[in-house]
Structure 1
């Protein structure tokens, strides 16, 4: 058994596009509101093609799930935190973490703790994405 972070967004398509472009999301699989499996639902439950019933994606080799909120209602994702830990002595992992953080900031994420050395970590940083999710980088 394992735990997987599941996000709800007002607009998952926007989040998925952003994550693909700036956080390196890959292997995006999405079931939209126009999926044939839902064509016989009562009219009041039908969603348009841009509505995400469920999606999976990978970032930095980890799997995440997401969906849209019912009727795309606003949602506050503050408090949703993803923490990536890595081996600081592994040059490839360290560079991957640096690149991930840099690309996120370049894409418009807000740095709440700039990536750098802290008292507790040789490389640590936190940023918030435009969808309210907080992302942490921490060297072990």
Structure 2
């Protein structure tokens, strides 16, 4: 069965926020990546140093079942940032088929912002807002299944 976590989006202060959450919950970050660590592509314009140091993704386990996840927004996504609506429900599916099923069912009538696809970080991933305006992320990480 899929697991569900909260994914928080920040406008440049993700690292500060997650250091605060870590001080409250304890634990370690199993992963923290910055935008400068992303592979460059022809479509992407070079970013300045400040944007490159922003958080692309961070995970903080806060219990055996639950993680807080987050990132800074930037580029074309920054104009959509609104405090109070800066979260998504993150579903980690147990299979590619489950990921597709959940993505297709939940996104029906909504707006897909990133179709399900293999990513450079090795996961099968997609994003959308459902027909009620709730933001979702669906993920299947084959590496975690091994």
In the superposition, the TM-score normalised over structure 2's length comes to 0.42
In the superposition, the TM-score normalised over structure 1's length comes to 0.44
Question: In terms of Rg, which structure is larger?
Answer: 1
